[in-house]
Structure 1
Amino acid sequence: MELSTLRLFTDVMHRRNFAAVARDHGLAPSSVSRSIAALEEELGIKLFQRSTRQLEPTEAGVDYFDRIEVLVDQLEQAQYLTQQWNGQPKGTLRITMPVTFGQIAIVPLLPEFKQHYPDLTVEVLMTDAIVDLVAERIDIAIRLGSLPDSKFIAKRLCSIEFVACASPNYLSQKGHPKTPQQIQNHECILWPLPGFSTHWNFRESKSRNKKQDIIDVPVQGHYRISNSHALKQCAVAGMGIALLTKMVAKKELDDGSLINLFPELDVSATDFDNPAWLVYPSRDYLPLKVKLMVDFLQEKF
């Protein structure tokens, strides 16, 4: 009885779907189905009731799952411990991250990580959706902004700073706002997230954590765009004022195709403390592959 087969079984119990588990493991759904069928034959019990629409565990399947899930985790941990002796992780590391942040900040670092750990397979899921780490078997998630209380471990990676900017063409036609309050009279290109599409906050850069120094500015605009790169393109094209991260707008700010309207001020849509986090499931034993990626990214930032 292979450990990999038992892991497939526990994953199918969580996902109730052969195709989803097959995607997680890079297998064909028929291969997962055959593995479960072979396990059922070896055990002499039926683990799942199958139909065209659903996959439900039998009573025997639930009982078997309850008895072996912890054992499967412990056996995998034993494998991780063995790998730690030679410092070379193997297996697959699944990491999820926001699309634009991943493209700009993380993907350029992956070639160096691969050089350090050539035997490790890395699956990168780039999405702006909040992925269920347990259901999707994610090892590490990069999350932006404030985090809800949870059972997961979170380590601060870096701070995200914003800039209110516009193209020279837009400013020549509509005028350069002299104060943050004047932005409310301008066309803004907005990010359709709570807070980002209704108001922006400004304060003097030296006024840390002084709420009385915050200028709350209502914003309005005809376009709401959920991708930072696309929003930046619209700003460069002269469609309005945009609130972008400095990381996203750096090239355009440097070459003059975007102008920082208030370089002497901090700006944000929500909290002025906007961190990026490394989030991973709380475990009694941290797999070597997770520890190495976490340490690598924290060193780079």
Structure 2
Amino acid sequence: METEALRLFVEVTRRGSFAAVARDRRIDPSLVSRAVASLEHDLGVRLLQRTTRRLALTEAGERYLGRIEPLVDELDRAREAVLVLSTGPIGTLRLTASVAFGQRCLVPLLPQLRSSFPQLRLELLLTDAKLDLVGERIDLAIRLGPAVPGDGVRVKWFDTHYRVCASPAYLQRAHSLRDPAELPAHRCLLFALPEFRSQWRFRDAEGIVSEVPVDGDIVISNALALRECTLAGMGPALLAHWLIDEDIAQGRLVDLFPAYRASATDFETAAWLIYPSWTFLPYKVRVVVDFLKQYLAELQPRLE
């Protein structure tokens, strides 16, 4: 019985599809199906129930998976432990983040990441959808928010916060905008999440929180596009500091209320590094997490 057949069986149960495993490995789906069928023939039992819509483990399959999955992981650990001595981290690392965050904060790090780990293949999945880490074989996810629900190991990367900003051109022709209470008189640029498009929250130096209703005729689901509209002078917007602090420093945007902390939800938010809660943390994930922590210092001017 070949270990590769065992590995394919484990991958099929994790992905729930022969076709998905074949795509991951860039092989024909029939090769995956035949490997699992051969495994079932050797054992003399059916491990998977196949229908046109889904795969399901049989009782025998569940018991067999419970025994061999730790063994397959241990074989991978043993192989990795030997190879990293001479090559460093190897294999493919699938990293996901939101489109705006990835473009602004991750893409600038890719040249150094490639230089540091030349044997590592990176698949960067930039999407605003919350991908299933196990189902989509995600090794590492970066997510933003006050707290990150769900399974997985969470490590805070850095604290985040928001600013209400506008372009100098907009401020030259706009009504007075020196206090958050004046925002209802302006057509704001709104992010397409429900909590962002109806009211913004402000906390002053004494900790007093006020909620200000906002409205506008431009609602956008992408933060990069929202920033572009703000730069174009179309109105004030509530944007994450990592996205617009460089614009503020260069005078392209103005922080309208620097004496306040602004938010649409919670004031305490962060960027989180998340990886599946496996007993085995691959070396490739560990070194990339360390890399991101190390290079946080380079991002710091935009993150404070």
User: Matched residues in 2 for 1:147 and 1:27: separation?
Assistant: 39
- TM-score, normalisation: structure 1: 0.87
Q: 1:155 aligns to what?
A: 155
Deviations along 1:115-155, one digit per CA (max 9) or x if unpaired, are 22211222222111222212222221111112245552211
2:271 alignment partner, SS class: strand
Quote the residue 2:100 is aligned against.
Answer: 100
Any conservation in 1 of the 2:87–2:119 contact (CA below 8 Å)?
Answer: no
Task: For 2:14, give the aligned amino acid.
Answer: H
State the match for 1:130 in structure 2: 130
- Measure the CA separation in 1 of the matches of 2:285 and 2:2: 24
Q: Which residue of 2 aligns with 1:229?
A: 224
Residue 112 of structure 1: SS of its match in structure 2?
helix
Partner of 1:249: 244
Matched-pair identity in %: 46
Q: Which runs of 5+ in 1 are unaligned?
A: none
1:40-59 matches, cutoff 5 A: 40-59=40-59
- CA drift of 1:281 comes to 2.1
Per the TM alignment, residue 103 of structure 1 is displaced from its structure 2 partner at its CA by 1.1
Which residue of structure 2 lines up, in the alignment, with residue 196 of structure 1? Answer: 196
Q: Which residue of 1 aligns with 2:285?
A: 290
Q: What is residue 215 of structure 1 aligned with on the other side?
A: 210
Contact 1:24-1:136 at 8 Å conserved across structures: no
Task: Give the direction of change, closer, same or farther, for the CA distance of 1:184–1:2 in structure 2 (3 Å limit).
Answer: farther
Decide whether the 8 Å contact of 1:93 with 1:139 is kept in 2.
yes
Find the counterpart in structure 2 of residue 71 from structure 1: 71
Task: Tell me, in whole angstroms, the C-alpha distance in 2 between the residues paired with 1:23 and 1:202.
Answer: 48
- Kindly provide the CA deviation profile for residues 4-54 of structure 1, in whole angstroms up to 9, marking residues without a partner as x: 432221121233222222333344434433433443455454433444443
SS in 2 for 1:290: helix
Residue 269 of structure 1, CA deviation: 1.7
After the TM superposition, which of the residue ranges 95-104 and 20-29 deviates more from structure 2? 20-29
Pairwise CA distance, 1:278: 0.7
Change (3 A) 1:283 1:15: closer
1:252-277: CA deviation from partner (whole Å, max 9, x where unpaired): 43444432212333222222222101
8 Å CA contact retained: 2:176, 2:182: no
Q: How many residues align?
A: 296
The letter of the residue matching 1:297 is L
Number of the residue aligned with 2:146: 146
Distance 1:170 1:27, change over 3 A: farther
Distance 2:33 2:100 in 1: 36
CA contact (8 A) 2:200 2:263 kept: yes
Which residue in the other structure is 1:263 paired with?
258
Counterpart of 1:114 in structure 2 is 114
Which 5+ residue runs of structure 2 have no aligned equivalent?
Answer: 297-304
CA pair 219-137 structure 1, distance change in 2 beyond 3 A: same
Counterpart in 2 of 1:272?
A: 267
